[in-house]
Amino acid sequence: MSVTRITVKGEHPYDVVVGSGVQAELPGLLKPGVRTVAVVHPQGLPELAAPVREALAGAGYEVAALPVPDGEACKTAEVAAGLWSAFGRHGMTRSDAVVGVGGGATTDLAGFVAATWLRGVQVVLVPTTLLAMVDAAVGGKNGIDTPEGKNLVGTFLPPAGVLCDLDALAGMLKADYVAGLAEIIKGGWIADPVILDLVEADPEGATRPDGPHTRELIERKIRVKADVVGADLRESGLREILNYGHTLAHAIERNEHYTIRHGEAVAIGMVYAAELSRLAGRLDPALVERTRAVLTSVGLPVSYDAAAWPRLRDHMRLDKKNRGAKQRFVVLDGLARPGRLEAPDEELLEAAYREISR
């Protein structure tokens, strides 16, 4: 299969390499001068890191394999501190590199520790889940969680490159794969409606790594994100549109103690944002129903517990888009027409939640 290179522009441009069996491309993504490479990977999935270690060792690098807890449990200050200590023991200098292998949580962590070790060393990300390929690993936004919320401590550090080996998707649990579709579908709503057309044309095929439109869906979503973050790395304006559905989603994740899949929370959050857009007089009701239809067609949730609203509302007040006490939501003014809703009335927020309550 051919290799696709999608360039993320900006002050420090880099390529996202997409294809099957593309591990041999990895050493070429590292900048010259690297001696030691720290490979950060989930401890429960050492097989993910094996081909990465082999490719790097074959290219002459000294490789340090550094396992971390699986999933969101790795995104803590304690785990980050453990990696910093490991970097010191392995004598990592500013000319060395970190490679993050795994899902979105692992790539978030790898980017964060790379950005903070010696005030920044290069990082290459090798996402192995659908969610990480189309979202978490692309964009240079890295972070860890605190008890108060998700991704509240973070950095901006564009990677030296991103390697998306589509073969890695074959081993995913179907529920995890479907959850990753939420971020792809989000890309359809905010920027590329062809994504929605492809999902609607074959919902069952969209839920499979070997589906007829899988590669096109992945590449389209990566291009959406590449275009946005290339123009706005530090989320000063345009990049906020990538948070469509995420204000409520992050609140749901915290309410569930991060046991719910991110994509499932985003799916619910998108329906909430669509309802909020409709009630604010900004979105056609038919597009709200299309939101529900597309998500349910691939098996994603579209509603949440009615009794949870007071807790969710408290969590939503600690959101990265907020400015002071002013709450800000990404909404839609139409298909592929994202906008912002600032300081909405509490009654409006609650009314939108009632529309997705069960």
Same-domain check for residues 160 and 13: yes
61-83, pLDDT tens digit by residue?
A: 999 999 999 999 999 999 999 99
Same-domain check for residues 265 and 148: no
Q: What is the CATH number of the domain that holds 124?
A: 3.40.50.1970
Going by pLDDT thresholds of 50, 70 and 90, the confidence category of residue 236 is low
Annotated binding-site residue? 74: yes
Annotated binding-site residue? 7: no
**Choosing from 215, 221, 225, 320, which is the catalytic residue?**
225
Annotated binding-site residue? 70: yes
Is-catalytic flag, 200?
no
Q: Is the pLDDT of residue 323 over 70?
A: no
* pLDDT score of 11: 84
pTM, to two decimals: 0.92
Name the burial class of residue 358, with classes exposed (0-12), middle (13-18) and buried (19+) by CB atoms within 10 angstroms of its CB: exposed
Q: Is the pLDDT of residue 285 over 70?
A: yes
Q: Is the pLDDT of residue 321 over 80?
A: no
Same-domain check for residues 144 and 47: yes
**Choosing from 53, 186, 215, 246, which is the catalytic residue?**
246
Residue (of 330, 150, 350) closest to 245 by Cα position: 330
Same-domain check for residues 167 and 248: no
Same-domain check for residues 157 and 273: no
**Choosing from 53, 141, 186, 254, which is the catalytic residue?**
141
* pLDDT score of 149: 80
Q: Is the pLDDT of residue 235 over 80?
A: no
Same-domain check for residues 44 and 128: yes
Whether 308 maps to a domain, the answer reads yes
Q: Is the pLDDT of residue 238 over 90?
A: no
Whether 71 maps to a domain, the answer reads yes
10-56, pLDDT tens digit by residue?
A: 888 999 999 999 989 999 999 999 999 999 999 988 888 999 999 99
CA distance 85 to 192: 43
For residue 286, give its domain range. 243-356
Q: What is the CATH number of the domain that holds 330?
A: 1.20.1090.10
Q: For 75-107, b where at least 16 C-beta lie within 10 A, e where not — what string?
A: bbeebbeebeebbeeeebeeebbbbbbbbbbbb
Residue (of 297, 241, 244, 272) closest to 349 by Cα position: 272
Query: Do 160 and 179 touch, CB atoms closer than 8 A?
Result: no
**Domain count for the chain:** 2
Cβ-proximal residues to 183 (8 Å cutoff; 6+ apart), any chain: 131, 134, 135, 221, 263, 266
Q: What is the mean pLDDT of the chain?
A: 93
